Amino acid sequence: MDKNNLYVRKNMHYTTVTLLGISIITALVIFVSIAYAALNVSLMISGDLEYEAGKELYSIISKSSKGLDTNIDFSVAPTEATSGVYKMNSTNSDKYPVYYYRGIVSNNNVKFAGFCWKMVRTTSTGGVKLIYNGVPGSDGSCNNTGTATQIGESKFNSSHDDTKYVGYTYDTNTNSTVKTYIDDWYYKNMVSYTGMLEDTEWCNDRSVSSTDDYNIYYGAYERNYNSHKPSIICTTASDKYTVSSSKGNGLLKYPVALLTADEATLAGNGKPGYTSSGYLSTGKSWWTLSPSKFNYNDREFGVGGSGDLYYSVVSYSNGVRPAVSLVPRTKVSVGNGTVSNPYQIIGG
């Protein structure tokens, strides 16, 4: 056999083997891809949220939305049918629409920084607001009620005879009693997790909606008691509590405060006579950040033991449930959001 024929045969053999190897590898890649896709579809169909492990919390919440809240009647308590996650219509065109949990929900439990929390809503940046809900049980569950959902009790302010005492701060930079209480708890328990929290705004809306011979009514009173149109917009710059002065008033030492009355209404709470078995109801009364009215006494909104949104004189003591906001793109590692299997925040 001449050298040319030998070269051609060797080259053909080499080419055949190479092509065969490529074909086998390609087939394996296709098989693995199909199997992976089938697994994901199976998990999605079964409703098993475990497949979300490692996914962003904002995405998990948005995917569970029932749609826009245009048909929600905030003057009545939510039922099973009107409970769930909703997208706020006023934010529908935003880059990160705001989603919130309402009513009777059981999949918004989170463990973070060694504590239990309830997810309340997302923010305009893709962050997620949480409210304190106690410490995990020995089995890792977050099934707390009553005083176990609070860091303790505090007056909102020690004095109540001047309109300034509805403020989270007053006289420019004097902390309210409840702010001092929350800041002290945060310093002792949460400082090392500050990098995982966003500097979002917390609205202590002191805008006046109306007056009469005896009362001064604040904006939250009108929205939550009369028009039943809760809002997450803080209209007065000085009432936007933030750490950075470039985002708000810069009067917060730490990125922690309280939920507003409007956020409580979104969650399924309302004026007395409108009780709720929703997820914010604990059987005990606790403060919100929203002033209600002044009638010789300063009064601040709170959530009552039966779930109603009521107002209390600021010098009375009520439960304190701090609220924080996780930074955008926060992810979970395990869990499905139930009280027995809360989401676990990666890094927290």
Q: Give residue 85's pLDDT.
A: 98
Say whether both 23 and 88 belong to one domain.
Answer: no
Tokens of 215: 């009362």
- Chain-centroid distance of CA 20 in Å reads 55
Say whether both 280 and 333 belong to one domain.
Answer: yes
Q: Give residue 98's pLDDT.
A: 98
Residues 241 and 203: beta-carbon distance below 8 Å: yes
Nearest Cα to Cα of residue 122 among 158, 88, 170, 173: 88
Distances (CA, A) of 270 to 77, 91, 124, 144, 229: 7, 22, 24, 22, 11
Say whether both 13 and 131 belong to one domain.
Answer: no
pLDDT band at 114 (very low <50, low <70, confident <90, very high): very high
Q: Give residue 334's pLDDT.
A: 95
The C-alpha torsion from 151 through 180 and 217 to 121, rounded to 10°, is: -50
Burial of 245 (0-12, 13-18, 19+ CB in 10 A): exposed
| CA–CA separation, 109 and 168 (whole Å) | 27
Tally of structural domains, the chain = 2
Tell me, what amino acid is at 56?
E
222-250 residue pLDDT tens: 999 999 999 999 999 999 999 999 999 99
Strand partners, 343: 110
Residues 166 and 294: beta-carbon distance below 8 Å: yes
| CA–CA separation, 91 and 171 (whole Å) | 34
pLDDT band at 111 (very low <50, low <70, confident <90, very high): very high
255-270 residue pLDDT tens: 999 999 999 999 999 9
Say whether both 36 and 78 belong to one domain.
Answer: no
User: Terminal CA-to-CA distance of the chain, rounded, Å?
Assistant: 74
Say whether both 224 and 259 belong to one domain.
Answer: yes
Q: Give residue 43's pLDDT.
A: 36
Say whether both 216 and 308 belong to one domain.
Answer: yes
Q: What is the mean pLDDT of residues 320-332?
A: 98
Say whether both 114 and 161 belong to one domain.
Answer: yes
Residue 109: its H or E element: strand 109-112
Using H for helix, E for strand and C for coil, what is the string for 154-202? EECCCCCCCHHHHCCEECCCEECHHHHHHHHHHHHHCHHHHHHECCCCE
Full residue range of the structural domain in which residue 69 is found: 51-345
Own/partner pairs for 133-142, CB < 8 Å, 24+ apart? 133/109, 133/321, 136/111, 136/342, 139/340, 140/111, 140/342, 141/339, 141/340, 141/341, 141/342, 142/109, 142/110, 142/111, 142/116, 142/117, 142/339, 142/342
User: Which pTM does this prediction carry?
Assistant: 0.85
Tokens of 47: 């409703």
Say whether both 93 and 111 belong to one domain.
Answer: yes
42 vs 231, which has greater pLDDT?
A: 231
The C-alpha torsion from 177 through 178 and 182 to 185, rounded to 10°, is: 60
| CA–CA separation, 138 and 135 (whole Å) | 9
Cβ-proximal residues to 287 (8 Å cutoff; 6+ apart), any chain: 154, 156, 178, 258, 300, 302, 312, 318, 319, 320, 321
pLDDT band at 273 (very low <50, low <70, confident <90, very high): confident
Say whether both 38 and 85 belong to one domain.
Answer: no
Tokens of 180: 């001092």
Residue 333: its H or E element: strand 332-334
Question: Which of the residue ranges 37-51, 118-132, 193-207, 282-296 would you say has the lowest mean pLDDT?
Answer: 37-51
Q: Give residue 54's pLDDT.
A: 60
- Helix (H/G/I), strand (E/B), else coil: 250: coil
Using H for helix, E for strand and C for coil, what is the string for 60-93? HHHHCEEEECCCCCCCCCCCCCCCEEEECHHHCC
Say whether both 219 and 195 belong to one domain.
Answer: yes
| pLDDT, the chain, mean | 88
Say whether both 242 and 258 belong to one domain.
Answer: yes
Say whether both 156 and 208 belong to one domain.
Answer: yes
pLDDT band at 184 (very low <50, low <70, confident <90, very high): very high
